[in-house]
């Protein structure tokens, strides 16, 4: 893959927006079949230009208007906001208080930085194949809940370009949800609570809600590979002390607990070391944690502690502020990440386990690919302008961007199908043939 | 609409639609020749809250014929309701008041019981039921001929909305008590009646079938904390869109599947109450916006103000005021904060070093009400009287006894309350050499005008006040005076001003002091048409105020 140099962005973006950005599909998405008048025209976009110039309240009349503007301004970053009551680019002409955000997709932002307390391989903006599993688990858990519990049908998962993933839920009814309900949904999906000063972030009650139970079974599939092998969370004293810190005092102080772990807290010599792999230590820990303490009342006997540890290390962490505001702006799919050069591409849910963020094309790589093809073809063409138009619609297909656009198109197909189904239902009711 | 009295008081407010399609209020008065049950005037009130574009407009001028038999049952099929539709029949002003008072009594009981007993316990339930029954409101589904109580319940709720929409505090209180009342009624609703009640209330909660329940039994039990153990067969479970169960699903207290929440009966109550609260809150906001139309009608204005004044939130008693002012503050307070009647009394006292009996009673009780202690009062009066060359011994013998008596330290030990406005206006008019009474009532208009000018009221304000005086609206004139002399737009001040047009005290509450509500009788003279409204407004547990006011201050010295 061609190395990415941020200095080249202006040139690369020029090419990207002229030849590669999938405008047709993009417009098809945000227009939502044109069912609601001015839905696209009232949508807010924001652009971040060169030198960090940020402009809000951008709006466009149609697809070609969008294209022209994007090609003219060459934005480094594109964000999508809400659908407002009026055209955002005319918001200053509207009477005070009348300009309101009305609808928007329900969005989620999962960021690897939020897991810094539980991942040992990387920190901050860095990611690697070892900790990427956290995203995989997050996608599986959240997507299952959105689909099976909430009944949401149109969910688009997108790689953010650096260290996380976004989810766009685009069902018609969902776009109309109030801020309160959106907050409620995030609350429903939240289990890990507390910041830096809180050691134990997950507390389960005796009654385990089906959502929690199903999430745990998903985590179980990955736990061994991710946590015990990849992260090796019981590798040494430093790392397993962190886990033991999650065990409540009254269990920790029980004799039988130490016996199970064969851990002698007094000296340096302890038998936990005997079991060399995290896997084996985990087995012991599980057993110790689930034993019923004889003299402690009100203590749950069973796998709760084990689950709490698993959840703290693996359960998704959502940023509520991103999801609850109807007017919140979120990075657009197919936007470029200015630091990594990677394109924010849709993730194929059927192949989520195989998704590799390092295989995602960068803007330099696809431009390079395009150049290679284009130069060879253009030699054959006389009329440059003609070839421009002819090729534009098929250009991205010749690059590594193609499969991702295909995922996007599948998502759009489903939206269309749904919409047609709804219209049919409505016309049936009205007996409108 | 027939208005047979053209004089003051015969008013017609028709079709005034202040906010487009919001509130329509019609009010008119029939000839006094029609009598009903002892009241001398039949006043007809008809109100309809208009929601959205739906116009609820009744052109009926006559009283609706009594509904009979099945018609009655059909109009109120349940013992409880969500009050979605406002009443549209005609009732007399007397009934209007009585319904309002009764419901107020009920809501106060609801509040009291709610703090004295744990809600939902047997004791609470039985006491609340007894109270509802006593006040003749509806509560039980299965009783026969519940038309009257249900109708009463319906109308009284809407009347109280008018009074309780006016401030955030009032709304909160009203909503809280109504919710508790609804919760109780719902709790005694037979299970098989629930479905039809929900349907009739346009709430789309469907109970799911046995099979559906069995399929999800484990999940539902695991999700709902209110279910104790595997007793699902006995419970109804309702399937509702998840967004309608926000408070349940956000805390993962309900099972969600495919966008629906499967809510057991116990939890459905919480949802219903939330729905109710949201709807009522919205309705109150709407009503508040339309309120100016109602308040501008001076028949209803005192009615509604007094209703809402009965709840002040705390027991503001005179004792609470004691010791809050010092004697040297009185001079400045008299010009800045006293009502004109007290201002004039104070001035006269300072000038003449003396006041006659009527003046001493009126002013003395006022001073007590604003916080003077017995010691301070004795000092105050003695100092002043001595300046008038009175013998200190004579003061001790003749006057101090009375002062102590009015503080409840002598005789039958009644702690007298200050005079109400109406007592001042209607009884014991001043004669030459007297300075008590109500300046707006008892002063010659020319003299009043001069006085107001000397108080630096603007000419516009003075003419407004004089108009009100001409229309015998003395208390409103006094309120106007208050407005003119207090520029503050402090809403709290406004509320306190509105709180009691009656006790002179309340109107001029000093900023540091709470206001005092009280019980009073309101007799308004409107030319030859007498509308007698008997108001019994309760302060929580202050029934003794009632009796004290009956003879307040009439004890001979």
Mean pLDDT, all residues of chain B: 69
Cβ-Cβ contacts under 8 Å for A232 (sequence gap 6 or more):
A120, A239, A278
Residue B159: per-residue pLDDT: 85
Residue A376 has a CB neighbour count (10 Å cut-off) of 9
Q: Is B225 on the interface with A (CB under 8 A)?
A: yes
At B307, is the pLDDT very low, low, confident or very high (cuts 50, 70, 90)?
low
CB contact under 8 A, A213 and B222: yes
Q: State the pLDDT at residue B537.
A: 22
Tokens 């005076």 -> residue: B481
Cβ–Cβ < 8 Å for B42, B30: yes
The ipTM is 0.89
**Residue B236: partners with Cβ closer than 8 Å, 6 or more residues away:** B191, B194, B207, B264, B265, B268
Structure confidence at residue A217 (pLDDT): 97
Q: Could you tell me the pLDDT band of residue B232, with boundaries at 50, 70 and 90?
A: low
Closest to A310 in 3D by CA, of A208, A236, A412, A388: A208
Residue B512 pLDDT grade (very low, low, confident, very high; cuts 50, 70, 90) = very low
Contact between residue B56 and residue B98 where contact means Cβ atoms under 8 Å apart: no
A142 touching chain B per CB within 8 A:
no
Mean pLDDT within B514-523: 21
Q: How far is B229 from chain A (nearest CA, A)?
A: 11
How is residue B396 written in tokens?
Answer: 């001790």
pLDDT at residue A124, rounded to an integer: 86
> Which member of A148, A212, A213 has the closest CB to residue B258?
A148
Banded model confidence at residue B42, pLDDT cuts 50, 70, 90? very low
Interface with chain A: mutation pick from B256, B267, B274, highest number of A CBs within 10 Å: B256
Q: Is the pLDDT of residue B21 over 90?
A: no
Least confident of A131-145, B279-293, B331-345, B534-548: B534-548
pLDDT at B485: 78
Q: Please give the mean pLDDT across all residues of chain A.
A: 88
CB contact under 8 A, B242 and A213: no
Pairing outcome for strands B260-264 and B237-241? antiparallel
pLDDT at residue B336, rounded to an integer: 78
* Closest by CA position to B289, among listed B176, B203, B162, B444: B162
Chain A neighbours among B 194-213 (CB < 8 Å)?
none
In the block, which residue shows the tokens 């006022």? B366
CB contact under 8 A, A210 and B250: no
Q: How far is A423 from chain B (nearest CA, A)?
A: 21
A99 interfaces chain B, CB cutoff of 8 Å: no
Distance CA B160, CA B163 (A): 5
Q: What is the pLDDT of residues B167-199, one digit of tens each?
A: 787 888 899 999 999 999 988 888 778 878 887
- pLDDT > 50? residue A165: yes
Cβ distance A211 to B256 less than 8 Å, yes or no, reads yes
Cross-chain Cβ contact B223/A209 below 8 Å: yes
Give B 259-318 residues with CB within 8 A of chain A. 259-260
Contact A210 B255 (CB under 8 A): yes
- Provide, as residue numbers in chain A, all residues whose Cβ is less than 8 Å from the Cβ of B225: 207
Q: Does A203 touch chain B (CB under 8 A)?
A: no
Positions of A annotated as catalytic residues are 44, 109, 111
pLDDT score recorded for residue A157: 98
Alpha helices in B371-420 (DSSP H): 374-387, 392-394, 400-406
Q: Which range scores top for mean pLDDT: A73-82, B20-29, B150-159, B261-270? A: A73-82
pLDDT of residue A342: 96
pLDDT at A316 over 70: yes
| Joined tokens for residue B170 | 């009032």
User: In sequence order, what are the beta bridge partners of B46?
Assistant: B26
Which residue in chain B has the smallest CA separation from A188? B250
Provide CB contacts within 8 A for B57, sequence distance 6+: B24, B48
Model pLDDT for residues A400-422, shown as the tens digit of each residue: 999 999 999 999 999 999 999 98
Q: What is the mean pLDDT of residues A83-94?
A: 94
- pLDDT value at position A392? 55
Do residue A181 and residue B257 have CB atoms under 8 angstroms apart?
no
Paired with B241 in beta bridges are B260
| Alpha carbon distances (Å) from B215 to A257, A408, B262 | 40, 36, 12
pLDDT of A4: 87
Give me the mean pLDDT over the A35-61 stretch: 95
CB A17 within 8 A of CB A363: no
The pLDDT assigned to A258 comes to 62
Of A183, A189, A196, A169, the residue nearest A114 (C-alpha): A196
Q: Cβ of B470: how many Cβ atoms within 10 Å?
A: 11
**For residue range B89-136, what is the model confidence (pLDDT) as tens digits?**
777 767 777 888 889 889 988 888 877 777 778 888 999 999 998 888
> Using CA atoms, how far apart are residues B440 and B438, in angstroms rounded to an integer?
5
Each residue of A371-404: pLDDT tens digit? Answer: 887 676 655 555 555 555 555 556 888 899 999 9
Predicted pLDDT at A396: 83
Q: What is the dihedral of CA A68, A74, A76, A82, to 10 degrees?
A: -20
Please give the residue of chain A at the shortest CA–CA distance from B258: A151
pLDDT in tens, A271-301: 566 656 788 888 878 877 777 665 555 556 6
Residue B218 C-alpha, separation from nearest chain A C-alpha, in angstroms: 9
* Whether A209 and B257 lie within 8 Å, measured CB to CB: no
- pLDDT above 90: residue A109: yes
For chain B, the first-to-last Cα distance in angstroms comes to 53
When pLDDT is cut at 50, 70 and 90, the band that residue B489 belongs to is very low
């Amino acid at each position: 893959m061609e190395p990415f140099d941020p200095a080249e962005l202006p040139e690369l973006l020029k090419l990207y927006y002229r030849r590669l950005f999938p405008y047709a599909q993009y417009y098809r998405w945000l227009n939502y079949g044109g069912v609601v008048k001015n839905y696209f025209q009232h949508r807010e976009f924001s652009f971040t230009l060169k030198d960090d110039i940020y402009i809000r309240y951008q709006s466009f009349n149609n697809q070609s208007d969008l294209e022209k503007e994007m090609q003219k301004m060459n934005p480094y970053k594109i964000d999508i906001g809400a659908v407002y009551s009026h055209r955002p680019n005319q918001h200053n002409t509207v009477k005070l208080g009348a300009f309101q955000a009305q609808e928007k997709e329900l969005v989620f932002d999962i960021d690897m930085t939020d897991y810094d307390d539980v991942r040992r391989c990387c920190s901050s903006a860095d990611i690697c194949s070892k900790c990427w599993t956290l995203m995989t688990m997050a996608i599986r858990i959240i997507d299952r809940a959105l689909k099976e519990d909430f009944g949401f049908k149109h969910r688009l998962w997108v790689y953010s370009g650096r260290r996380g993933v976004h989810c766009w839920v685009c069902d018609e009814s969902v776009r109309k949800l109030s801020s309160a309900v959106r907050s409620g949904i995030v609350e429903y999906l939240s289990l890990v609570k507390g910041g830096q000063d809180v050691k134990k972030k997950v507390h389960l009650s005796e009654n385990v809600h089906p959502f929690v139970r199903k999430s745990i079974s998903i985590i179980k599939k990955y736990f061994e590979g991710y946590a015990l092998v990849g992260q090796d969370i019981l590798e040494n004293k430093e790392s397993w002390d962190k886990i033991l810190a999650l065990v409540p005092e009254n269990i920790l102080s029980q004799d039988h607990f130490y016996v199970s772990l064969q851990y002698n807290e007094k000296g340096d010599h302890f038998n936990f070391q005997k079991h060399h792999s995290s896997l084996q230590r985990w087995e012991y820990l599980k057993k110790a944690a689930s034993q019923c303490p004889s003299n402690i009342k009100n203590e749950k006997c069973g796998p709760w502690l084990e689950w709490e540890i698993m959840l703290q290390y693996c359960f998704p962490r959502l940023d509520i502020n991103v999801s609850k505001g109807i007017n919140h702006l979120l990075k657009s799919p197919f936007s470029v990440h200015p630091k990594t050069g990677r394109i924010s591409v849709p993730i194929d849910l059927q192949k989520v386990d195989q998704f590799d963020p390092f295989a995602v094309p960068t803007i330099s790589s696809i431009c390079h690919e395009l150049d290679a093809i284009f130069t060879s073809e253009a030699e054959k063409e006389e009329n440059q302008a003609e070839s421009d138009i002819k090729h534009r619609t098929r250009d991205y297909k010749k690059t590594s961007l193609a499969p991702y656009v295909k995922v996007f198109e599948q998502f759009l197909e489903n939206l269309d199908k749904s919409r047609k189904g709804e219209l049919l239902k409505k016309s049936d009711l009205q007996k409108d043939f | 609409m027939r208005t047979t009295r053209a004089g003051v008081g015969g008013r017609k407010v028709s079709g005034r639609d202040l906010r487009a399609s919001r509130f329509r209020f019609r009010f008119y008065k029939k000839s006094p020749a029609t009598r009903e049950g002892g009241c001398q005037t039949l006043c007809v009130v008809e109100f309809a809250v208009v929601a959205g574009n739906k116009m609820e407009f009744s052109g009926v001028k006559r009283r609706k014929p009594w509904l009979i038999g099945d018609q009655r049952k059909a109009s109120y099929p349940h013992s409880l309701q969500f009050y979605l539709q406002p009443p549209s029949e005609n009732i007399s002003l007397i009934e209007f008041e009585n319904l309002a008072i009764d419901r107020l009594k009920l809501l106060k009981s609801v509040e009291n019981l709610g703090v004295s007993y744990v809600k939902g316990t047997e004791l609470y339930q039985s006491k609340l039921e007894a109270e509802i029954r006593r006040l003749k409101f509806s509560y039980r589904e299965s009783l026969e001929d519940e038309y009257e109580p249900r109708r009463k319940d319906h109308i009284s709720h809407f009347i109280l909305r008018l009074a309780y929409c006016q401030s955030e505090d009032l709304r909160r209180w009203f909503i809280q008590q109504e919710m508790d009342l609804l919760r109780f009624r719902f709790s005694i609703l037979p299970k098989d009646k629930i479905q039809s009640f929900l349907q009739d209330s346009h709430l789309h909660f469907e109970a799911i079938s046995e099979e559906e329940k069995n399929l999800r039994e484990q999940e539902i039990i695991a999700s709902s904390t209110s279910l104790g153990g595997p007793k699902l067969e006995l419970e109804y479970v309702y399937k509702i869109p998840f967004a309608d169960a926000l408070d349940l699903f956000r805390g993962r207290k309900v099972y969600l599947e495919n966008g629906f929440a499967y809510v057991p009966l116990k939890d459905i109550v919480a949802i219903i109450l939330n729905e109710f609260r949201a709807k009522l809150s919205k309705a109150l906001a709407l009503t508040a916006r339309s309120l100016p139309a109602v308040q501008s009608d001076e028949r209803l204005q005192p009615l509604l103000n007094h209703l809402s004044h009965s709840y002040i939130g705390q027991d503001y008693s005179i004792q609470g005021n004691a010791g809050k002012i010092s004697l040297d503050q009185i001079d400045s307070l008299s010009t800045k904060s006293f009502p004109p009647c007290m201002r004039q009394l104070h001035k006269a006292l300072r000038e003449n070093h003396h006041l006659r009996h009527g003046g001493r009673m009126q002013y003395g009780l006022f001073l007590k009400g604003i916080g003077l202690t017995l010691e301070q009062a004795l000092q105050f009066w003695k100092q002043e009287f001595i300046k008038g060359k009175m013998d200190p011994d004579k003061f001790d013998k003749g006057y101090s006894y009375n002062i102590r008596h009015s503080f409840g330290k002598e005789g039958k030990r009644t702690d007298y309350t200050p005079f109400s406005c109406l007592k001042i206006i209607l009884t014991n008019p001043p004669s030459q050499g007297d300075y008590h009474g109500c300046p707006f009532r008892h002063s010659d208009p020319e003299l009043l005008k001069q006085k107001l000018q000397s108080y630096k009221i603007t000419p516009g304000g003075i003419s407004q006040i004089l108009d009100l005086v001409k229309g015998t609206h003395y208390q409103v004139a006094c309120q106007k005076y208050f407005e003119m002399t207090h520029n503050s737009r402090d809403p709290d001040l406004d509320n306190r001003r509105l709180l009691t047009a009656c006790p002179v005290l309340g109107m001029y509450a000093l900023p540091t002091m709470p206001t005092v509500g009280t019980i009073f009788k309101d007799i308004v003279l409107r030319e030859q048409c007498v509308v007698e409204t008997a108001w019994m407004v309760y302060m929580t547990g202050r029934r003794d105020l009632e009796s004290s006011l009956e003879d307040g201050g009439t004890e001979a010295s």
